[in-house]
Amino acid sequence: MTTKFVVGYDGSAASRRALDFAMERAKAGGASIIVAHVLEWSPYSFLTPTEIEERHKRRAEEMARAETAILAPLKAELASSGVEVETAIRYGQVADTLCDIATKSGAAQIFIARQGESGLAARVFGSVAGTLAQCAPVPCTIVP
């Protein structure tokens, strides 16, 4: 069974650094990569049936847009890298969703970028990196 790495990717320069770092490790160790794009989605909302229907329609559109604009071009670019790459798009809280993907796929490690959230906002709301460092089911590498 091949070792798998999960990489949190949002299309930013920071997430690209995390992906490149993970790709280097995957090449060196013969691992495969799951590039995970998480769209934040709050289930806590009081909506009418019509609003729920519209929300599900928007969700499907956002997932299709993320696949077309972010993941498909990236997967095509990485096709000749020599590393097996698959993609995953999910809705949810980023840290929890990356942990879920890692657990379900049997991943050995999670790679994410630090986005530079600092000061009061990071202390009050926390950060994905901080949350993963505390609760990830596998080792987590945070790439600056």
pTM for the full predicted model: 0.85
Total domains present in the chain? 1
> For residue 81, which amino acid is it?
S
pLDDT at residue 84, as a whole number = 96
What is the C-alpha to C-alpha distance for residues 133 and 118, in angstroms, rounded to an integer? 16
Structure tokens at 117: 């959230």
What is the C-alpha to C-alpha distance for residues 91 and 134, in angstroms, rounded to an integer? 21
Q: Is the separation of the CB atoms in 128 and 8 below 8 Å? A: yes
b/e per residue 28-63 (b: at least 16 CB within 10 A): eeebebbbbbbbeeeeeeeeeeeeeeeeeeeeeeee
Task: Render each residue's pLDDT in the chain as its tens digit; 144 residues.
Answer: 579 999 999 999 999 999 999 999 999 999 999 999 999 866 656 667 787 778 778 888 888 999 999 999 999 999 999 999 999 999 888 999 999 999 999 999 999 998 765 555 455 445 788 888 888 999 999 998
Q: Is the separation of the CB atoms in 138 and 95 below 8 Å? A: no
CATH number for position 139: 3.40.50.620
Q: Could you list the residue range(s) of the whole structural domain that residue 136 is in?
A: 4-143
